[in-house]
Each structure stands twice: as C-alpha cells, then as structure tokens.
C-alpha cells in the first residue's frame, strides 16, 4: 500500500467529492416534489394564416397527397415560420409494419417533416409514447428511419416514467386538472398531429384526438372509463395547430393493434385541417360512422374545440 500523503489525500479526495457532488446534484434535482402545474407553460396556439377548410386529398402516393393536402390549405409557410420548433406527432405505438396500418404511414410523416424544414423550422421533433417497446415500434413502423432521413430529430420516450414527462396543469381540465406531459410541449412553438385512422374497440375509432395520448406519460390505462372527457381535457391543453390524418390505409377491425392484412382497407387519402374535431368527424365517415357516435368527438365539440357537424365544415377535395 502506498502511503497517504497530504498531497495525495487532497488530490484524490477532491476528485471523489466532485464526483459525489455531481451525482448528488443529479439525484436531488429530480427528487424534489414536482409542483403541480408549476411554472411550466404549455405552448400557446401558433398564429397562422392557413385556410379554415378541411382538405381531403386522394391519390396513389402517400407523400404526394400529403403535400397536396397541405398545399390546398395554403402551404406550411402559413403556419411554420423561421426558427420554429415543430413537433410532428405520429402514431408509433405498435410493433407493426406500415402495411398493417396500426401506425402512421412513414411517408406521410416524412413529407410533413420536409415541408416544415422547408418552411424554415429550426428543429422538427418526431416522437411517441409507444405501447410496445419503442425500439421495436420506431423501427418496424419505418417512421424513425423515414423521419430521420427527412431531417427530423427522432427521440425515444422510455416508457411511462420517462423524465421528460413533467406534471403540467390543464387549466380547462374537467376531470384532469393536471397530468404528466412531454416537456417538448413547453419548448415547441408548433404542434402538428399526424394520426392514422383506425378501429378501436372502446372508443370505436382511434383518430386525431386519441393520437394525442402519446404526449402523455404515466398510467394512461386509468383514463379508459372516462376516455372521452380525458381526451377533451388533453386536447384543450396542448393546442394542436394542424392535424394531418393518414387514411392511406385504414384499419377497420381488431384495432388499434391490427396485425392481419384482412383488416386493412386502402382508402388512399389524407385529411388535413387546423380544426382537430372536423378532421376526426370526417375520418369517422370512412368507417360508416358519424362523428357524434364517437364519445370524444362529441365531447370535444361540446367544449368548443372544433366543428363536428360536417354540414358546417368547408370540405375541399383534391385528387393527385
């Protein structure tokens, strides 16, 4: 054993102390009880000059119809301005391939990422709080690769306890005054929701408002008995600026997971609007269901989050 000299004691001791302090700092900074709501502020709605239409674009190429739908709204430049931090929120919840239609079509996601960057976005973030293991869903959905190649930052959410979920207040929440939401919602300036239209046994359909659940952490399973109110609460808080619904392939049964190609129907369209309720209400008709038959669409409509009556929606159809 070497003798402990004063010099050595000081040198090694200070190293150990520095390491310990760094570790303690790390631990303490997240041990403090999070204040409900706290000083964290969710992003406000972004001012935009997009048309108020609900656009349905049809065609044989997912990225072309996505571009056409957004062009028909006036182009993404009308929403995204230079330096914006944009969240593109697809459905990447399931370990399924694009053909199985359980996740958003990767080409649709990539097209939106490209348009956002072209419009001057500083950063585009793509993520979802997956149900299956995120490493698998990001890969098999094809979204991670497509979005990365398009220039987006693709980050994992590591389960319900991910430190990025932070307790935030939901000012208009009826039964959910606060919940853990992804902290990117405090940094971002634009939120583009990119759901896929598919069957869901409890709510009947999983559409745009349902897709927002991927922004929430914690035990989302507990939402299910009051899912309509919860989704309306969440929707009222996060301020979706644009919804681009992937209905290129829709899942008509055994959703939201699917797995069998027998349940997939090719409807070859993309629906886009700044009104999240109108998009959902229109998408429901693809399944032969009216918007008011879906609990959360009805609830969101009653709260004034958007228009459910398709007769009052200005539908614009484009074919590529």
Partner 1 sequence: MSSKRPTLRSTRRTIQTVFLALFLYLVLRTAEPLDFRVPVNIFLRSSPFLAITAILSTRAVITLFVPALAVAVLTVAFGRVFCGWICPFGTTVDICDRFLARSRREKDATTDIQPRYHPIKYALLIGLVVSAVFGVGFAGWFDPICIATRTYGIALYPYANFALEKALDGSVRANLFPGFVSWLDQAAHQSVLSFKQPVYRAHVLFLLVFVGIALLGSVERRFWCRHLCPLGALLDVLSRIALLRRRVRDGCTNCLRCQRACKMSAITGKGEKTFRGECIECFTCNAVCPEGVSTFAFSKDKKQGARSACLTRRGFVWAMLGGLVAVPVSRVNFSRNQGLLRFIRPPGVADEEEFLAACIRCGECVKVCITAGLQPVLLEGGIEALWTPKLVPRVGYCEYSCTLCGRACPTGAIPNLSRDVKQDMVLGTAFFDRSRCIPWAENRNCAVCEEVCPTPTKSIVLRETGLNDEVTGKPLRRPYVRQDVCIGCGLCENKCPLPGQAAVIVGAVRYPDEGRKRLLRGRARSGQRRLGWRRGAGRGRMG
Binding site for partner 1 (CB under 8 A): 1, 22-23, 25-30, 95, 131-136, 140, 155-156, 158-159, 163-164, 166, 187, 200-202, 219, 221-222, 224-226, 228, 254, 256-260, 263, 295
Instruction: Tell me if 76 sits within 8 A of 118, measured CB to CB.
Output: yes
Distance (Å, whole) CA 284 – CA 279: 9
CA distances 299 to 18, 85, 103, Å, are: 54, 30, 25
Query: Which of 60, 201 has the CB closer to partner 1?
Result: 201
For residue 204, the surrounding DSSP H or E stretch is: strand 204-206
Q: Which of 60, 72, 75 is nearest to 248 (CA)?
A: 60
Closer CB to partner 1, 38 or 171, in the complex: 38
User: Please, which residue, 34 or 177, has the CB nearer to partner 1?
Assistant: 34
CA distances from 315 to 103, 120, 211 (A): 25, 28, 22
Cα–Cα dist 76/112, whole Å: 9
Min dist CB 14 to partner 1, Å, is 19
At its nearest, how many Å lie between partner 1 and the CB of residue 224? 5
Cβ proximity to partner 1, 31 vs 288, nearer residue: 31
Nearer to partner 1, 133 or 309 (CB): 133
| β-pair type (153-154, 123-126) | parallel
Dump strand ranges (E) for 117-189. Answer: 123-126, 153-154, 165-169, 178-182
Place of tokens 């997009």: 50
What is the nearest approach in angstroms of partner 1 to the Cβ of residue 234? 17
Contact between 265 and 246 (Cβ < 8 Å): no
Beta carbon nearer to partner 1, 95 or 307: 95
Smallest distance from partner 1 to CB 77, Å: 26
CB of 1 to partner 1, least distance (A): 7
Min. distance of Cβ 316 from partner 1 in angstroms? 34
């Amino acid at each position: 054993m070497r003798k402990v000299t004063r010099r050595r004691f000081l040198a090694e001791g200070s190293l150990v102390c520095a390491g310990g302090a760094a570790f303690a700092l790390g631990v303490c900074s997240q041990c403090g009880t999070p204040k409900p709501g706290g000083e964290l502020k969710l992003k406000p709605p972004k001012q935009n000059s997009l048309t108020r239409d609900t656009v349905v674009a049809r065609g044989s190429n997912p990225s072309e119809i996505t571009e056409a739908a957004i062009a028909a709204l006036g182009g993404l430049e009308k929403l995204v301005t230079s330096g914006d931090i944009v969240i593109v929120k697809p459905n990447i919840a399931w370990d399924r391939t694009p053909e199985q239609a359980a996740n958003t079509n990767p080409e649709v996601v990539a097209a939106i990422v490209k348009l956002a960057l072209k419009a001057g976005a500083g950063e585009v973030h793509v993520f979802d709080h997956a149900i299956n293991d995120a490493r698998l869903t990001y890969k098999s959905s094809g979204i991670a690769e497509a979005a990365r190649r398009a220039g987006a930052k693709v980050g994992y959410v590591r389960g319900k306890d991910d430190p990025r979920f932070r307790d935030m207040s939901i000012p208009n929440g009826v039964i959910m005054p606060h919940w853990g939401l992804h902290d990117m919602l405090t940094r971002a300036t634009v939120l583009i929701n990119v759901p896929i239209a598919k069957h869901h046994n409890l709510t009947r359909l999983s559409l745009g408002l349902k897709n927002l659940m991927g922004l929430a952490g914690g035990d989302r399973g507990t939402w299910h008995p009051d899912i309509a109110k919860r989704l309306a609460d969440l929707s009222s808080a996060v301020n979706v600026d644009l919804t681009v619904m992937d209905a290129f392939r829709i899942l008509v049964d055994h959703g939201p997971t699917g797995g069998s190609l027998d349940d997939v129907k090719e409807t070859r369209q993309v629906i886009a609007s700044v009104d999240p309720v109108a998009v959902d209400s229109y998408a429901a008709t693809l399944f032969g269901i009216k918007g008011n038959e879906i609990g959360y669409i009805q609830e969101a409509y009653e709260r004034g989050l958007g228009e459910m009556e398709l007769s009052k929606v200005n539908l614009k159809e484009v074919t590529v």
